[in-house]
Structure 1
């Protein structure tokens, strides 16, 4: 188990420190060397060795002192290390993993980078997209399939990507994103699970999110306040409708009255201030309801999405208008649009 203070072995409820080299990011097996483990640490790479059934720190790899949160052996003596600010290092190690023989570095492209293995391949993800490692050229190249699937306009991945058996996990500002391969082809299947902004903030520091599989379609997600479980088998598409609840009209003297919007469609010129209330029933506490509207005749473009369920139009000029409103719960757009058409008369001096 990696820890800020070093490396521990956890046995039931007992923790035994086996290495003092600080800041262990990850511990990985070395193929062909069952008695060795490789560690990524705050200050480079280190090796654990099992002697007489007891694990202990054997050595710190000489010649490389860069923080190594993401690392992967791509051959017996080639190690790839990703560092968010510096870029990707390809290190050649000596046969005994004592020192770095040579080093090449590719500058960082984008921010928020992470490196992961999925279906036997090595990938690098950042704000610029997803890249796949070429084992012959020893470099990364853009993977258009995963980039297109995971990096959607206005809802792009903001965290590291977590690899888990048959799924990839990522986090956006609005969603938890799950990607798996299609059952009948190699096209990725993406599920976006909406989360409220308040809940998203409890998932911890961006880039340090955690998802673990429990069983079947159940997953454990870590948060700053504990843990929660996600059951992918119970995700349902919500049936959503939006309703216009009330319309209140007022004049310059602020004399207001609620109107019967099912029948009242024409107003005096002085009745040109409108407050419209609308809503969509939402019984899912983990999904936010947002609204978007337009007033054709003066504001023909849809507004930005907002959680505010009312809008006020003040001092509208005479003319014909159609108000439209729609909603979304999470990523599900309402099945209908609320509409109301009305007219404001010309002032008497233009009649």
Structure 2
């Protein structure tokens, strides 16, 4: 975290009102501050301060060989020595022209002015620096400049971008908004340790990779279009585009010139026997002296190949098949079409002098056998190899190669089939694939392929037969070519030209060296839900409060090469242990992290190379207050106290429950005892009922026995009375009468009756006290529900007499006429 300290409060010198500071230079232990009116010399060791005042405007202050110079406008150039200003030159040019910078050149001062170029000051004499760029510089307004490490100069202008001069004053390059800058006003310049030039513009900051292996020509105005092919011929560079054929002198800054008659798509450029052939949508051309002569009007010439041992014949592939070109004298014309094969032939290569392969991305790979006159396809065979979008066919190092998304296949003559080459197939993968086009460069004996993030250059193996594959970082947005129409051309030395959809790229392989870079964790910040943010030292071990659980990490790789994409991958150990996918984003935020210990790791990939390190940051997030160790102790104590409390509560509860259970058990026992008592009573009653029934049966049997006995005796008596002679029978009749009137029978009956129907006779006697024993005897018989006829023998009277007794009994009981005597007695 940076801390601001004001010096103005302690210097002891009042500042000029509205004073603005335009430059600060550190030299030894002194720091010099330059405003428009004064220079302050501040001693960083002891805080001492000196000032140099000026009555005129101080335009700028310069450091040259550990000396400080400055310009007083209208006065000249001064040098600071021992804290004093000493006049160096008051030449009129230096008085009236703003001096942008001062350089040391061979022990003399090279002074650059804003509008009049460079001047050399030697021995107090000022002369113009006579250089090739003098005229150009004089027409520009220079705002600032620096001398680069290689001795050359970078000049920032007011409205024309940046001008790069060599050490001897030649224009190396001029870059402005038309060819890449964000703005044409360059306000400041800085060269870093990697020789990159940083530009502070009126709008934004730009970085120029001065030592970059890549130079880009952008056709912002669309004059050229998409570049499909290129060639160097007779000192000129030719570009075949979707708009026609263009040319300019090689290594010259001149503009491209359109070659008349070639408007439309140019598919290929082919050099043969010191002639340049152009395969075009409208036919075939021969290019000479920046003119194009059409030699074939057959639509759509894709490509042209020589025919082995037939120097006067060429084979060209067209939209509708294959054609033969023949040379007659110094001119070429179409000889014939090869009959029997009418498929578009963009990619084709000879296997032998009369056998060739043709690749079509939708129909497959064909093997064609030709007759000796090259007029007819004798045999056409479809090869057993997969078809693929953006596929291609080429010859490299005497091998026939077929390539598409699934890999690179080599033709094996012994088995007469294409076999996957495991080494070459490494140049493709599912995520990085954009085109299967392989380009052979015969001059450099290299094979090239294209992917989203790089180029692959294949060379034959030097020691073994295994080819060498070199990856060159070049992201797709720089190439931005049309898939399957990529092109690459060897210009000279290690320089190659690659066509794009808006111009071309030149890459210098001698400058394209793989360099590993470290990833740096720049900043760590934490924030709360209330958006209270604080910055953290990335080198420390972080300890955050629980509410500071939103963390953001910023990281970078110190690689400023524009053509090398940097991608980052991170993990947060402790919650997200898996590495993330690679992304171009150089920051990541984690929100609402739970408490715990974490380690944040980040690594980078520049092109296809991983960073040399993994940057890490360890931190922890405190527990929330309610989960802090103090609160956990409180919780534990609370649990213990609560447990004791609940133990007592449950103890009291179970005590009450036990008492309640004992009471309930006691009640149940009492109830059970009562039920048992009732059961005993029920059994007793049942026994009594059985006893009563038994006695009733005995009473009934006894009664019936008496009735039967009396009836029997009466019958005997009646029979005896009817006998003719009764003299000797009277004693018998008397015995029968005595037996009928025997009171012992009644006593036995009364005893049995009382056992069966206890207290009935007492009860009825208490109700009707006037009843006589005979009346009670009648009541007993009526209680047994006996009829008058049954009662008569028991009373030894007639049936009629029983009715009379019944009548008299009703009267004694005072029963109504309607009342039933028997029912009344039964209800008592």
> What is the TM-score of this pair, normalised by structure 1?
0.93
Q: 1:180, CA displacement in angstroms? A: 0.9
The gaps in structure 2 that reach 5 residues or longer are 1-277, 629-828
Q: 2:448 maps to what in 1?
A: 169
Query: Is residue 569 of structure 2 the alignment partner of residue 292 of structure 1?
Result: yes
Tell me the distance in 1 between the aligned counterparts of 2:434 and 2:397: 20
Return closer, same or farther for 1:83/1:263 CA change in 2, 3 Å cut-off: closer
Q: 2:401 maps to what in 1?
A: 123
Conserved in 2, the CA contact under 8 Å of 1:210 and 1:221? yes
Conserved in 2, the CA contact under 8 Å of 1:291 and 1:327? yes
Q: 1:328, CA displacement in angstroms? A: 2.2
Name the one with the larger helix percent.
Answer: 2
Q: What pairs up with 1:1-351 in 2 under 5 angstroms?
A: 1-106=278-383, 109-111=386-388, 112-147=390-425, 149-152=426-429, 154-156=431-433, 158-165=435-442, 166-201=445-480, 204-263=481-540, 265-351=542-628
- Greater alpha carbon shift after TM alignment, 314-323 vs 79-88: 79-88
State the secondary structure of the residue aligned to 1:234.
coil
Q: 1:106, CA displacement in angstroms? A: 2.4
Tell me the distance in 2 between the aligned counterparts of 1:182 and 1:315: 55
State the secondary structure of the residue aligned to 2:458.
strand
CA root-mean-square deviation: 1.8
Conserved in 2, the CA contact under 8 Å of 1:86 and 1:107? no
Q: 1:136, CA displacement in angstroms? A: 4.8
State the secondary structure of the residue aligned to 1:227.
strand
- Greater alpha carbon shift after TM alignment, 105-114 vs 226-235: 105-114
Conserved in 2, the CA contact under 8 Å of 1:86 and 1:108? no
State the secondary structure of the residue aligned to 1:2.
strand
Q: 1:32, CA displacement in angstroms? A: 2.2
Q: 1:153, CA displacement in angstroms? A: 6.7
Q: 1:152, CA displacement in angstroms? A: 4.9
Deviations 1:234-263 (A, max 9, x none): 112224122222211111222222223434
State the secondary structure of the residue aligned to 2:418.
strand
Q: 1:264, CA displacement in angstroms? A: 5.3
> What is the TM-score of this pair, normalised by structure 2?
0.41
Tell me the distance in 1 between the aligned counterparts of 2:455 and 2:606: 15
Tell me the distance in 1 between the aligned counterparts of 2:350 and 2:337: 16
Q: 1:157, CA displacement in angstroms? A: 6.4
Tell me the distance in 1 between the aligned counterparts of 2:582 and 2:326: 56
Tell me the distance in 1 between the aligned counterparts of 2:416 and 2:299: 30
Q: 1:142, CA displacement in angstroms? A: 2.1
Conserved in 2, the CA contact under 8 Å of 1:113 and 1:127? yes
Deviations 1:164-194 (A, max 9, x none): 2321100011111111123222222111111
Q: 1:155, CA displacement in angstroms? A: 3.8
Q: 2:261 maps to what in 1?
A: none
Deviations 1:177-236 (A, max 9, x none): 1111232222221111112342132xx211111111122322121122222221111112
Conserved in 2, the CA contact under 8 Å of 1:74 and 1:135? no
Deviations 1:54-100 (A, max 9, x none): 21111111121100011122233322111111111112222211122
Tell me the distance in 1 between the aligned counterparts of 2:402 and 2:473: 25
Conserved in 1, the CA contact under 8 Å of 2:544 and 2:621? yes
Return closer, same or farther for 1:145/1:337 CA change in 2, 3 Å cut-off: closer
- Greater alpha carbon shift after TM alignment, 314-323 vs 125-134: 125-134
Q: 1:137, CA displacement in angstroms? A: 4.5
Moved over 6 A (4+): none
Tell me the distance in 1 between the aligned counterparts of 2:306 and 2:436: 26
State the secondary structure of the residue aligned to 1:65.
coil
Tell me the distance in 1 between the aligned counterparts of 2:526 and 2:360: 59
Return closer, same or farther for 1:129/1:261 CA change in 2, 3 Å cut-off: closer
